[in-house]
Amino acid sequence: MRIITFDALRCLDIPGVHYIKPEQYLNHLPEIAQAEWVLFPEYWQVNALYYGLGARLFPSIASYHIGHDKIEQTRAFQLACPNNIPDTQILENSPENTERLWDDLVTPFVAKDPRSSEGRGVFLVEERRQWRDYCAQSPVLYVQELLPIDRDLRLVLVGKKVVAGYWRLQSPDGFHNNVAQGGTLDFSPLPASAVQLVEQVAHRLDLDHGGFDVAMVGNHPYIIEYNRLCGNQGLVEQGIRIGAMINDHLLTAGHSATRAHEQERKKQ
């Protein structure tokens, strides 16, 4: 396959990949146009490559758009799996809404910045002072119920399959589970209901790469968040080489697309 990548480190174990620096992409348009796959462009490149050049992207265009903003992905999840996300409210940051939410919500609850990652921009709100601090710095009010958990799952998606996963145990702060915030990893078996949910949602929304954070309350899974890109520490510790799995997916998806194109031509 002719493959272009804009992220060499995420493409180890994928043979025949040609790396181009993202800021140099306009100097390589003929190569990109002829590529069977274009891998891991920066977000600012996506619309130009996909709509302007017609490039076949991995991750998918949906993975980019839905994974870019917590608000937009939550709204998608509210339609795709309404019974499997925490109770969430998203409102304009106005004096009326800040007062209304404080009166309506049961403390403690969770408040988030729409485009944070690695546990940054996720706040536990227990007191009015904390709520005021959050409202003073967030352009949008994004709040969720606090689920009764002391760990969550990171499930890694390639194609439409969960290819790996692990538990993230709560950090000493008693709130965050992210490894970057002090959480620790546990490689106990993954609940089948969580894996099934992620694969169903990925298929419906056309997501094909990234990490889903899933909380288990009893036997019921809740999708907390989806990240198009995710860290690899948990994969490394399990000896998993994600590049080989990506390569298998590209081969399979490429063959399927070719067959579909040939069938369409025969109809004509």
pLDDT tens, residue by residue, 77-102: 999 999 999 999 999 999 999 999 99
Tokens describing residue 121: 């921009």
Structure pTM?
Answer: 0.89
Q: Is a pLDDT exceeding 80 seen at residue 265?
A: no
Percent helix, strand, coil in the chain, to 5, is 45, 25, 30
pLDDT score for 191: 97
Reported as a single tens digit per residue, the pLDDT across 171-216 is: 766 677 767 666 788 899 999 999 999 999 999 999 999 999 999 9
Q: Which domains does the chain have, with CATH numbers?
A: 3-58+245-267 (no CATH), 87-145 (3.30.1490.20), 149-237 (3.30.470.20)
The mean pLDDT value of the chain amounts to 89
SS3 42: coil
| HSE toward the beta carbon, residue 14, CA cutoff 13 A | 28
Which residue in 195, 257, 260, 267 sits closest to 57, CA to CA?
A: 257
Integer Cα distance of 111 and 134 in angstroms: 7
Q: From its phi and psi, is residue 50 left (phi > 0), alpha (psi between -120 and 50) or beta?
A: alpha
Beta-carbon count within 10 A of 172 CB: 10
